[in-house]
Structure 1
Amino acid sequence: MTGADPLLASLRAAVTAAPGDVALRLHLAELLLDAGEREEAVTHVATVLGQEPGNPGAAALMTRALAAPGSGPVPEAPTRPGPPSGFDWAAAEHQVQDVVGPRFAPDDVIGQEPEVVPIGPPAGAARFTVERPALRLADVGGMDAVKKRLEAAFLAPLRNEQLRALYGKSLRGGLLLYGPPGCGKTFFARALAGELGAGFLAVGIHDVLDMYAGNSERNMHDVFLAARAAAPCVLFLDELDGIAQKRSTIVGGVLRQVVTQLLAELDGVGADNEGVFVLAASNMPWDVDPALRRPGRFDRTVLVVPPDDAAREAILTYHLRDRPVENVRLKPLVARTVGFSGADLAHLCEAATERALLDSVSTGTARMITQDDLLAAVADLRPSTGPWFTTARQVALYANGDGAYDDLVAHMKKHKLM
């Protein structure tokens, strides 16, 4: 049985492994014809003709495969490209119609406009989802100091092209949002995209880093491909300190190559970043590779601090809006939650809800969430931002020679944190 021929089996496996090897595929087709496996041979020859329509060896093998049994000797292969004389085009087209398209369009489409097929995103970029956020900075309660800084550093130059040209304001470079965890850096980035009417592509460390060599750099390249394909687009790199650590502290080559790739993408090496606005967030910007902080990269920074009074009231209102509350006064809660992050406030509302729920279970009577539940939850909680400011204080005191953290120093002095 030919299917069990070890030589044919080996050649089939080799063609599967190297489908673009024309000589190997034709050799297999010739052996298949010798073994009487005509249909399989025709399939391989048709594949070659689909790749190289003028291949003389493929044309000769197709002629041999289509020749009727007993029709005489098979003509020699031509010395130049093109089918031999007497080639049966009708029979050949019937054999390869599923592989090779028609040579000419039907008469009924002559004179019609050709169909325009839109080109999709580049290969590798399709796995990233670009949002179109409806959020605006006005939807963020309070935090006026942060909003003003974002307006001056990012939005104002983008909104007024004539003034930007007058003052020679460049749009090159990215914006780095930094501050304690849970204070809304991602929220602000999404609001910025909404202000610009741009797409929003959020990328985290898990989207980039890969255990296999070369994949992490390829992932970083695909991220920028997706952002460029969706321009105008805000590309948001979360946890930048995890993706782009200082190369001087990295042991091993994977992360080092990721940083190098990110630098190349930011500089637009081999591609144009027009319409791609790069934002990043970091809890520990002092751990980010210094090369990323140079002009033209992440050369602008905005400190996102814990929510102020107005912001805390808005956050508490948001998290209590769908809960059964009764006679809750927010002002005393706002006064007792200075230094709480947005995540802390969400946890506070959850803890108060749990307290009321457990009490309802124990008494057998459902009751509303009251002021006492919220105050009791506040008494049990401490702001999670404390450890961050302890670390930041050391940076502000001993690693601010270039003034990169002047806004952090000013904030900590204002709130007596240093």
Structure 2
Amino acid sequence: MDPLLASLRAAVAAAPEDSTLRLHLAGLLLDAGEHTEAVGHVAAVLGREPGHAEAGALMARALNPAPPPEAPTTPPAFDWAAAEAEVGDVVGPRFAPEGEGDAEPIAVGPPRGGGRFAVERPDLRLADVGGMDAVKKRLEAAFLAPLRNEKLRALYGKSLRGGLLLYGPPGCGKTFFARALAGELGASFLAVGIHDVLEMWAGNSERNMHDVFLAARAAAPCILFFDELDGIAQKRSAVTGGVLRQVITQMLSELDGVSAGNEGVFVLAASNMPWDVDPALRRPGRFDRTVLVVPPDDEARRAILDLHLRERPVENVKLRTLAARTEGFSGADLAHLCEVATERALLDSVSTGTARMITQDDLLAAAAELRPSIGPWFTTARQVALYANTDGTYDELATYMKKHKLL
């Protein structure tokens, strides 16, 4: 507290009728920003002397404080030369000199056709997929055998028209199998997802679909793989907008050229919900062959676990025991299990201050904690196998579910 103000307050309290003393205190209070107390003192004087000039002036000052000084409206000029000198060794010059060494002009807009999509050459083979012999046999019969044996294909009149649809629960390796098929054939591999095709602007989605096939033709022999086909080509009866309808029409047009314009282009697709795919795409000459990709069997689970633990610090892990405890887990579930076990060992190492290896106990604890993620898929698939399989499309699914007591 200001000592002067404290002394004046005490003096006013001792001589409340002294108007001069009270107004002097009010003026100092206003200077200190204590407007409420100052108004009280001035009001006391005006109550006794309504026409007191000095009191009236102080009251006006208290009730109408002067506005704070305005900030300058014009900011100081920015020193661009100093700023450029400061970052000159970090940021290059704004403009390059003309003449020798000029770069090629950059095209405006996204590249179209073959340059837009990433084409790869997988070095995978079906032999690299552990277990899953039943799936491999179906792929061999439905896809690889006709392609490998040209003379037998001619003898039996087997056409190469049409595509192959891989379906099954999520996270069970449909894309992995598609890459392995490309490796078996020594073909290029072009994977296309929903975001590569669908756009909000009218006409762009159809053009994207055309460009996908252009890229595959340019890379022939090529496996053109559509992931999540049910998202790209959903049943038109369930589609409210016009974009998806046009995309499906464009896709049908491109597929119907498999025997001619698509020479060397082998079309595959994957779907978790094949029953949601537009029926027109399932007709002969299109995606007329299906292969069910089921959850990994015991041998496949050992291979997947070995893959995900190979680069981690593990100790005394028994893959056979672990595989037996994870029946019904998808490949994605097994990868997550390894992550959970790793986190368990990591957190324990942090809490104890001593790094330790990932052990069998960590993996078994993670297996006990997690549940297979594919249960909801089989719940839906059961309804399909029971009530939507009049044409035998899902016989393979029904057989698998009966064998594993899911139907």
- Structure 1's unaligned 5+ residue stretches are 1-121
**1:341 and 2:335 are equivalent in the alignment:** no
Match of 1:390 in 2: 379
Match of 1:201 in 2: 190
Match of 1:298 in 2: 287
Give the counterpart of 1:240 among 229, 241, 247: 229
- SS at structure 1 position matched to 2:270: strand
Match of 2:242 in 1: 253
Residue identity over aligned pairs, in percent, reads 87
Match of 1:405 in 2: 394
C-alpha contact 2:160 2:259 (8 A) present in aligned 1: no
Deviations 1:255-297 (A, max 9, x none): 0000000000000199601100000000000000000000000
Give the counterpart of 1:360 among 335, 342, 349: 349
**1:350 and 2:344 are equivalent in the alignment:** no
Give the counterpart of 2:215 among 217, 226, 231: 226
Match of 1:148 in 2: 137
For the pair shown, which has the larger CA radius of gyration, 1 or 2?
2
C-alpha contact 2:161 2:259 (8 A) present in aligned 1: no
CA change 1:404–1:251 in 2 (3 A) is same
Match of 1:264 in 2: 253
Moved over 6 A (4+): none
Please tell me the residue identity of whatever aligns with 2:214: L
TM-score scaled by structure 1? 0.70
CA distance in 2 between counterparts of 1:123 and 1:344 reads 37
Match of 2:94 in 1: none
Match of 2:125 in 1: 136
CA distance in 1 between counterparts of 2:395 and 2:250 reads 30
Give the counterpart of 2:116 among 127, 132, 135: 127
Please tell me the residue identity of whatever aligns with 1:180: P
CA distance in 2 between counterparts of 1:372 and 1:389 reads 30
Residue correspondence of structure 1 range 72-151 to structure 2 within 5 A: 123-151=112-140
Q: Structure 1 residue 212: deviation in Å?
A: 0.2
Q: Structure 1 residue 123: deviation in Å?
A: 4.7
- SS at structure 2 position matched to 1:150: helix
- SS at structure 2 position matched to 1:125: helix
CA distance in 2 between counterparts of 1:189 and 1:169 reads 21
How many residue pairs align between the two structures?
297
CA change 1:385–1:123 in 2 (3 A) is closer
Residue correspondence of structure 1 range 144-223 to structure 2 within 5 A: 144-223=133-212
CA distance in 1 between counterparts of 2:223 and 2:152 reads 22
Match of 2:101 in 1: none
CA change 1:294–1:270 in 2 (3 A) is closer
In terms of mean alpha carbon deviation, does 206-215 or 265-274 score higher? 265-274
CA distance in 2 between counterparts of 1:375 and 1:270 reads 52
Please tell me the residue identity of whatever aligns with 1:333: L
C-alpha contact 2:162 2:258 (8 A) present in aligned 1: no
CA distance in 2 between counterparts of 1:229 and 1:375 reads 49
Deviations 1:4-62 (A, max 9, x none): xxxxxxxxxxxxxxxxxxxxxxxxxxxxxxxxxxxxxxxxxxxxxxxxxxxxxxxxxxx
Deviations 1:157-183 (A, max 9, x none): 110100100010011000000000000
Please tell me the residue identity of whatever aligns with 2:332: A
CA distance in 2 between counterparts of 1:319 and 1:252 reads 43
C-alpha contact 2:314 2:358 (8 A) present in aligned 1: yes
C-alpha contact 2:167 2:293 (8 A) present in aligned 1: yes
Please tell me the residue identity of whatever aligns with 2:197: V
In terms of mean alpha carbon deviation, does 209-218 or 327-336 score higher? 327-336
Q: Structure 1 residue 125: deviation in Å?
A: 2.7
Please tell me the residue identity of whatever aligns with 2:148: R
Deviations 1:287-331 (A, max 9, x none): 000000000000000000000000000000010001111111112
Match of 1:37 in 2: none
- Structure 2's unaligned 5+ residue stretches are 1-110
CA change 1:261–1:270 in 2 (3 A) is farther
